[in-house]
Amino acid sequence: MKTRTLGDLQVSAVGLGCMSMTSAYGPPANKAEMIGLVRLAHERGVTLFDTAEAYGPFANEELLGEALSPIRDQVVIATKFGFDIDLETGARTGGTNSRPEHIKRVADAGLKRLKTDRIDLFYQHRVDPNVPIEDVAGAIKDLIAQGKVNHWGLSEAGVQTIRRAHVVQPVTAVQNEYSLFYRDVEAELLPICDELGIGFVPFSPLGAGFLTGKIDENTKFDPTDFRNNVPRFSPEARKANMALVDVVKGVAEHKGATPAQVALAWLLAQKPWIVPIPGTTKRHRLEENLGAVDVTLTAQDLQELANALAKIEVLGERLPEAALKMTGL
């Protein structure tokens, strides 16, 4: 596995997003199987594992803590704070909470669930409009001084928030959705990361599965799958957006790769400090995704993709309206 650097944090070129193991894409997967999958990922060279208190809540961190405890010093654990979740019951209001005292309590609770003495990368999951980002950065600075956190990042944050946060405590990574399916971050977010020396971690790098070519207008999702409520995944949008998948499939056939590998290789080709975190609950998909590091897209490949994509307008918002309002973009 090749490595890359987020700020000054070295990680595998492709990480593993763990959310789908316990939430969002349907019922939780078998715990023993997911522990095995996490450990297989490490055997294949993955060192960056991404979770959050909100995934479950709590179940994902507990799963990852159990899976990684035997190899703790060989991996980088990224987790997140920022939602208003009761730390005793897991009850959530649906709102944000980045008050400094709450952040510190979340960190302590996360350390216990993750069976570790430090969080390698601690993201603010969503910007809290009620708490100045300088106060958030100050709380993280305290946690770093205490040795409980090593690095921090921001998720779904805007340019000015990132800039202000970075002044108080240097930001290591910014995490946002980014893929051939959603490219808005190219206008402002990637340039500021480049300017400030911040790494970028794309979540949903396969467009929540759409770029694999395994989803079409007739695909039925589990009733608990979040994609049922995403405008971009309505049957009409899926039908229209297949034009994008067809382009990716064409490149994949030419390269002797899969559409998923081309989608990930495209991200890796954008900047040397981009580290995608595709998620999966299947071993063969894990192997497929990690194979993307060996797929090289030439300048001609990238230009052909760019030319084709310029003619395609993706239909539908990437999130439901309420969720979009919670982003800082």
Query: What amino acid positions are annotated as catalytic residues?
Result: 55
Structure token digits, residue 50: 């991404």
**Helix or strand or coil: residue 283?**
helix
**Helix or strand or coil: residue 64?**
helix
Q: What is the dihedral of CA 123, 125, 130, 131, to 10 degrees?
A: 0
- Annotate 2-14 with DSSP letters as a single string: -EEEETTEEEESS
Q: Which residues of the chain form beta strands (DSSP E)?
A: 3-6, 9-12, 16-17, 48-50, 76-81, 83-85, 92-96, 119-124, 149-155, 173-177, 199-203
- Annotate 188-237 with DSSP letters as a single string: THHHHHHHHT-EEEEESTTTTTGGGT---TT----TTBGGGG-GGGSHHH
Structure token digits, residue 179: 């893929």
